Amino acid sequence: MRALRTAASGMAAQQLNVEVISNNIANMNTVGYKRQRAEFQDLMYQNVERMGAQSSSAGTVVPTGIQVGLGVKAGSVYRITEQGTPGRTDNQYDVAIDGHGYFQVTLPSGEIGYTRAGNFSLSPEGTIVTEDGYAVEPAITIPQNAVDVIISKTGEVSAKIDGQVDPQVVGQLEIANFFNEAGLEAIGDNLLMETAASGPANVAAPGEPGFGQLLQGYTESSNVDAVSEISALIVAQRAYEMNSKVISTADDMMSVTSQVKS
């Protein structure tokens, strides 16, 4: 009975849906996290009677035919890059991007990763690094005798040196933008990688046309909306239950058929 396999595909699809939603809820407090959504497509069809087929010698044709669908499949799991709310931290090395763009991070492999998480710190050498100690690109080193650090909206990093009146410019933060942000590959640790789908990185200073500005002393909150996720979870649960009910009904129908006596 086709209904068994069709409903089974529906249960598998809703299981994936719940897994995506659960990952969103788990990352509600992850800095710079972007929520994801699962999208589905109808699977394939069996043509019991093809539309347009000739139905008589007079040349009449079947207007609609008979097509029976065989279920559903996952089409994609895409990332929603909507801006998260900036949260004040008062940490001078925390930076949020207000608008489009990603911080660049040099990974241990030498590759460049991208992130919206701007909760930075200093390495033992005074370099601005991520939580995992990966250097922010381009590398910026804060002098050891600095008493304060100022990061402007346009990414210019200045250090107030003890005994000096004017701040000293020590570097310039740059951010990257992509034509298709949803095409970036998530690798964990708040990091994304460039792919053929995302297109190449376009790098510029913050505040340039098409690029966001920086907010020192802030981090970008996750854009997960708890109410929307719980609502989506309830819908997915009900869909799973209904597909389960279809399997039970198909099983009952097959049981009745097997009990028919000749």
* Cis amide leading into 167 (omega within 30): no
pLDDT digits 0-9 by tens, 119-175: 999 999 999 999 999 999 999 999 988 899 999 999 999 999 988 888 999 999 999
- Which domain covers residue 238, as residue numbers? 2-81+224-258
pLDDT digits 0-9 by tens, 14-66: 999 999 999 999 999 999 999 999 999 998 888 887 877 877 778 788 888 88
Asked if 43 and 148 sit in the same domain, the reply is no
Contact between residue 225 and residue 80 where contact means Cβ atoms under 8 Å apart: no
pTM: 0.85
SS3 of residue 166 by DSSP: coil
For residue 209, give every residue at least 6 positions away whose Cβ sits within 8 Å of its Cβ, in sequence order, or none.
Answer: none
pLDDT at 262 over 60: no
**How many Å apart are CA 228 and CA 36, to the nearest integer?**
12
26 DSSP β-pair partners = none
Asked if 60 and 91 sit in the same domain, the reply is no
Asked if 21 and 138 sit in the same domain, the reply is no
Contact between residue 34 and residue 79 where contact means Cβ atoms under 8 Å apart: yes
pLDDT at 254 over 90: no
Q: What single-letter amino acid sits at 142? A: I
Q: Residue 193: which H helix or E strand, with range? A: strand 191-193
Asked if 107 and 147 sit in the same domain, the reply is yes
- Among the listed residues 46, 98, 48, the one whose alpha carbon sits nearest the alpha carbon of residue 69: 46
Asked if 23 and 90 sit in the same domain, the reply is no
Question: How many residues are recorded in the chain?
Answer: 262
Asked if 14 and 28 sit in the same domain, the reply is yes
Residue 22 phi/psi, 5-degree rounding, is -65, -35
* 211, burial (CB in 10 Å: exposed 0-12, middle 13-18, buried 19+): buried
Asked if 71 and 153 sit in the same domain, the reply is no
Asked if 160 and 105 sit in the same domain, the reply is yes
Asked if 152 and 214 sit in the same domain, the reply is yes
Asked if 23 and 60 sit in the same domain, the reply is yes
Asked if 203 and 136 sit in the same domain, the reply is yes
Contact between residue 225 and residue 88 where contact means Cβ atoms under 8 Å apart: no
Contact between residue 87 and residue 219 where contact means Cβ atoms under 8 Å apart: yes
Two tokens at 233?
């979870």
Q: Provide the number of structural domains found in the chain.
A: 2
**How many Å apart are CA 8 and CA 17, to the nearest integer?**
14
pLDDT of residue 131: 92
Asked if 96 and 215 sit in the same domain, the reply is yes
